[in-house]
Amino acid sequence: MGSSATKATAVGVIRRLRAAGHEALLAGGCVRDMLMGHRASDYDVATSATPQQVKRLFGHVLMIGAKFGVAMVIINRRTVEVTTFRSDLSYSDGRHPDSVKFVSAREDAQRRDFTINGMFYDPLCGKVIDYIDGRKDLQAGVIRAIGDPHRRFAEDYLRMLRAVRFSGRFGFRIDRDTAKAIKRRAGRITQISGERIREELEKMCADATAAASLMQLHKLGLLEAILPEIFADTSGWVKVSRRAGAVTSRGDALLTIATMLCDLPANDIRRIVRRWGGSNEMRKSLLWMGEHLDDWKTVPDMPLAEFKRILAHRDFRRLEALWRFEERTSTGGKRYYLAIRRRIKAIDPKQIDPEPLVTGADLKEIGLKEGAILGRVLRRLYDAQLNEQITNRRDALKMARGMVHQDK
């Protein structure tokens, strides 16, 4: 579908809509970001034109969300989301509005989640259009639900997580009534799908301020609802919050999620990833970090081959961050960390994950059959190679012949 629109593309769309007699404005997150002097990640357009009218004005328009008033205008392979001013009618699933009604800009502002997210901007005359006192809250640093917070969260429980995400990202406080409303229904967060929870958590955890967000999630009762596993152990949360405090400034979502899950039993990790509709990659990464969490103690002395296998793993940097924290918590120092660094430095980078000196085909040529033994021999040979006991093909084959003899 191409990448999100730049401001210039979105403004071009607005000009075109205006020329055709429609109202059209920048809306939502991008207005907030511009007023804060941040670069927006995407520029959304809100308009009085219906999706059908938008479609007629532009050459390439995707109508996937047309029922909800959304038309995706594609210009030079960039996508501009053009949404008709709308109000969301009843929510029976706490997720999607059952239907929408096309309305004025003023009413459209009312269906948005927080005041700081509910403003419009007219880029042609440089004017902010603020029906919900968003600018005031932006200046004061407040996350406040638009309208009655109880009703707004009941419509869509995901908004509870969004409140925490924006609060963490901008260092804003959550208004008292808004926070109260979240606390009251925090337990219902599990009524929305695990995928939506994960996606929101991933966005939250990709922020360098994630540690503060996790703290906030906990204070509001949301974390316990999302991850009761952490609280099964009385010291679970304390450990998680300290670990998060140590590593989340990296803004690495997977690492931050690992701070919460890495010392849970493997079966819990599997169940959580399944509940979240997470990928196999995610599951494997989290399980691997969990499995090797305590290795910092043994890694300076472990066999070279084993060490290299850990080094070669795509999540090694993350694991190392967790190790540093584990060591500091348990010894107060970084002796092992330094020893590990020294050991890494002594290794030729080309020898961390080298091409195997011999392959299965080579072994078949010297008489081995496909099967368990062949696999075992290959692995032992590769170990010897990683341990730098063999450095060329001739020696590798010699060793293979020796092994085959032994196994007979």
158 binds ligand ATP per the rule CB under 6 A: yes
Q: Are 361 and 400 in contact (CB under 8 A)?
A: no
Q: At 195, which helix (H) or strand (E)?
A: helix 194-205
The angle formed by the CA atoms of residues 116, 84 and 159, to the nearest 5 degrees, is 40
Q: For residue 408, how many other CB atoms are within 10 A of its CB?
A: 7
Residues numbered 42-61 forming contacts with Mg ion, rule: CB under 5 A? 42
First to last CA, the chain: 59
Task: Report if residue 198 touches ligand ATP, rule: CB under 6 A.
Answer: no
What is the distance between the alpha carbons of residues 242 and 245, in angstroms, rounded to a whole number?
Answer: 5
Which residue number has the CB closest to Mg ion?
Answer: 29
156 in contact with ligand ATP (CB under 6 A): yes
Residue 112: contacted member of Mg ion, ligand ATP, none (CB under 5 to 8 Å, by partner type): ligand ATP
The yes or no reply on residue 118 touching Mg ion (CB under 5 A) is no
Is 278 a residue that touches Mg ion (CB under 5 A)? no
Q: Does 308 bind ligand ATP (CB under 6 A)?
A: no
Judged by CB under 6 A, which of 86, 112, 243, 292 binds ligand ATP? 112
How far, rounded to the nearest angstrom, does the alpha carbon of residue 71 sit from its chain's CA centroid?
A: 26
Q: Closer to ligand ATP at the Cβ: 160 or 377?
A: 160
Q: How far is CA 133 from CA 25, 147, 148, 284, in A?
A: 17, 11, 15, 46
Regarding 358 and contact with ligand ATP (CB under 6 A), the answer is no
From ligand ATP, Mg ion, none, which one binds at residue 78 (CB under 5 to 8 Å depending on kind)? none
Q: Which of residues 7-46 bind Mg ion (CB under 5 A)?
A: 29, 42
Position of minimal CB gap to ligand ATP = 29
144 is a contact residue toward ligand ATP (CB under 6 A): no
**By CB under 6 A, what part of segment 34-63 binds ligand ATP?**
41, 44
Q: How many residues does the chain have?
A: 408
Amino acid at site 393: R
Q: Does residue 79 interact with ligand ATP by CB under 6 A?
A: no
Q: Helix 304-311 vs helix 316-331: angle between axes, to the nearest 10 degrees? A: 110
On whether the CB atoms of residues 391 and 350 are closer than 8 A, the answer is no
159 binds ligand ATP (CB under 6 A): yes
158 binds, among Mg ion, ligand ATP, none (CB under 5 to 8 A by kind): ligand ATP
Measured from the CB of residue 158, what is the shortest distance to ligand ATP in angstroms? 5
Specify the stretch interacting with ligand ATP by CB under 6 A; choose among 11-19, 152-160, 283-291, 389-397: 152-160
Say whether residue 117 binds ligand ATP (CB under 6 A): yes
The string over 195-205, giving b where at least 16 C-beta atoms fall within 10 Å of a residue's C-beta and e elsewhere, is ebbbebbbbbb
β-strand pairing of 61-62 with 70-75:
antiparallel
User: Residue 333 corresponds to which tokens in the numbers above?
Assistant: 């120092």
**Residues in contact with Mg ion by the rule CB under 5 A:** 29, 42
**Residues in contact with ligand ATP by the rule CB under 6 A:** 28-29, 41, 44, 112-113, 117-118, 156, 158-159
